Structure formats: C-alpha cells, structure tokens
Amino acid sequence: MIGVALLGAGIFAREQHLPAIESVPSLSLKAIYSRSESSANNLASAASSKSIDVYYSVPTGTGEANVGPAEKSLDALLARSDIDAVVIALPILAQPEIIKKALKAGKHVLSEKPVAKDVESAKELISFYEGLGEQKKLWAVAENFRYTPSLIAAAQKVKEVGGNLTTFRLNMNGWVEEGNKYFKTEWRKVPSYQGGFLLDGGVHFIAGLRLLLASLGQDISQVVGYSHLLEERLVPVDTVHAVALTNEGKSGTISISFGTQFKSGLEVEVVTTQGAVYWNPTQVKTKTKDGEKTEEFERSSGVKEEVAAFAKAIEQGQTEKNQTPEEALKDLEVVQRLLESGEGKGVVKAVEA
C-alpha cells in the first residue's frame, strides 16, 4: 500500500480529492494537513476511515499568529516514514514552497494546477525539481480535464478522423455568482496572482484544447487577444478573446469568459481535412463524409482517474506525460500569453521551444 497525506482541506479537497484517494485500492490515506485545526478536523471527519491523523498550523480558538504544537506541524507529517506521497490542494501562491518541502522530505507529490502563479515561478520550481538528482521522487501536476472520459474519447476520435488540421475553436462562457462557493474563498475573491479565474479555471480549458490538438501532433505556438473585465467583482480580468496559431501555422479561436451572465457552456471543436470533432463535457460529436455520430457521457471531473494515474505512476516509477510539470507549464504559458496579449502586447509566443 502507498501511504498518502492530503495537504489542504478546502472545497476541492473535500469534494474531489478525498473521495478520489479513497477510491484507489493501492492508496491508504493516513493524514490530513490544513492551516487551521478546525478545517483539518472537519475534513478528517468526512473520511471513511476514522483513524486519520490531523496536522495543522493554527490551533482552534487562537489567533493567526499562533503556531500549533510541533508534533502537529507539517514538518512532523512529512517526517513520517509511513507516508510515501502527498496530494497538495492549497491556494496557488502557497503551493510552490510546500511542493519543495515535500520533495525534499522524499515524498512523491501530486500538486493541483496551475503548476505555479506564472511562467517564471513555474520554471524556477521545475529547475529546483531537476536539481534534486536521480534519486528524486515523482512530482506530478493534477490536470483533471486530461482524465475526463469524454475528452479522452474526443482525442481518440480526432486521431481516427485524421487529416490535416484546418481550424479549431474553444468557447467557454460562464457567470460566477457572488454566492459561488469558489468565489467565496478569500484567495480567489481578492487574487494576488495574474488573471484571477482566467488563470485558476482557464488553465483547464487550455489543457483540453491542447490535448485534442496533440492528437494531430500540433500545439499552440502564438496568440493575439483582447481581455476585458465585464464583472467588477472578478478582478483583474474575467474575459479574453483571441486568435491562436499552431506550430504548423494553422489558426483558430479561443474565447473564455467568467463574466457572461446570460450565456454559459464549454465546447471545443477541431476541424481537419477529413472531418470534425466537437466536444463538451457530456458529448462527443464526429462528422465525416460518412455522416455524423454522437456519443453521450456522464459528467465527470476526472479527479478519481488522475489520482489513480498518480498511484500507478508511483508503482511504475515514472510520471505520465499528462501529469508532468512540463506539460502543466505549457498550459500555464498559453494562459499567461493570452493575458499578456490582452494587455496590449500584441502577438506573443505562447509556448516556448
């Protein structure tokens, strides 16, 4: 069995990571860490096992400046020999130092996307990881969209349709209500990182588009776009519209908005000289000269599948391509270049060679 600790006790950790870890037979959840004792206890109480150890920094009923007992610290958790791996689901700005700490402690790491707040920070983190040498443990970045059954099926359909890429289209429109559970988290409400929801959520959609384009051996190489703030609550920007170019010179469009109140939905379409594949989270449509076919899917977050892939990677000693930090860096690069272009920098390189 692989002993695992869950670092973070927020919404996604509670609703997705906890049941995902418990669903993988080869994983044994042994500990939970959160900044506050109460949130760690609350998550532990939701676990199937009642023998989960709790670690924290701030004891219940004390001020922010108070530090919990040493035996309950993150360092104490990471010193445990029975914990082989950690799943990190912490705010964007908090993750890099925790990732480093866990890797230095000799733990395998699955950290939430985005890989870091910006390209510079992500490259520094990857450089740190590479500097650990041959004995370093696995570091995987959790991009659950790449593990959703509908998107995997769509990628396979793109391969089957084949042909040369003609164009592509990514459209995501949504509205973040003031009472939205994710918006109500303080670090998202007042973001100290670029793009706000466009970074935190947009990286998912870029990952999905890139997975489909990869089925044709292509990737996004340049973007030119315009960004806007449609809803004042969603600072610094909530919308970007762009034209993107692939490494083989084919163009398509990217439109992502979290500030469109009366239009919602996510869809990606890839068109080739042999046909077209349309994807949304619950449907894949394929159109060729032989006609049109539609396959329906249940909505899935893909988190259980990504955690299972992480466990398999530990057993086999190699991180899957879909979870490598380098792949996550490319997702982040595209989002950052979209934001930079939207700031008036014109055409910018999206993915560095």
- Residues 84-137: tens digit of each pLDDT: 999 999 999 999 999 999 999 999 999 999 999 999 999 999 999 999 998 899
Nearest partner of 228 among 333, 334, 342, judged by Cα: 342
Percentage of the chain modeled with pLDDT above 70? 97
Strand, helix or coil for residue 2: strand
pLDDT of residue 64: 59
Single-letter amino acid, residue 300:
S
- In angstroms, the CA 264 to CA 262 distance is 7
Query: Residue 260: beta bridge partners?
Result: none
CB 59 within 8 A of CB 37: yes
Model confidence, pTM: 0.94
Helices (H), 215-346: 303-316, 325-340
pLDDT in tens, the chain (353 residues): 999 999 999 999 999 999 999 999 999 999 999 999 999 999 999 999 889 999 999 887 666 556 778 899 999 999 999 999 999 999 999 999 999 999 999 999 999 999 999 999 999 999 999 999 988 999 999 999 999 999 999 999 999 999 999 999 999 999 998 888 888 787 787 788 889 999 999 999 999 999 999 999 999 999 999 999 999 999 999 999 999 999 999 999 999 999 999 999 999 999 999 999 999 999 999 999 999 999 999 999 999 999 999 999 999 999 999 999 999 999 999 999 999 998 877 667 777 65
CATH of 146-303+332-349, one of 3.40.50.460, 3.30.360.10, 3.40.50.2000, 2.60.120.10: 3.30.360.10
Strand, helix or coil for residue 343: helix
Domain ranges of the chain: 2-142, 146-303+332-349
- Give the sheet arrangement for strand 265-272, strand by strand: 291-296, 283-288, 275-280, 265-272, 165-173, 251-257, 239-246, 220-228, 348-349
Tally of CA atoms within 13 A in the half-sphere of 39 that contains its CB:
17
- CB atoms under 10 Å from CB of 223, counted, come to 26
Query: What CATH code is assigned to 2-142?
Result: 3.40.50.720
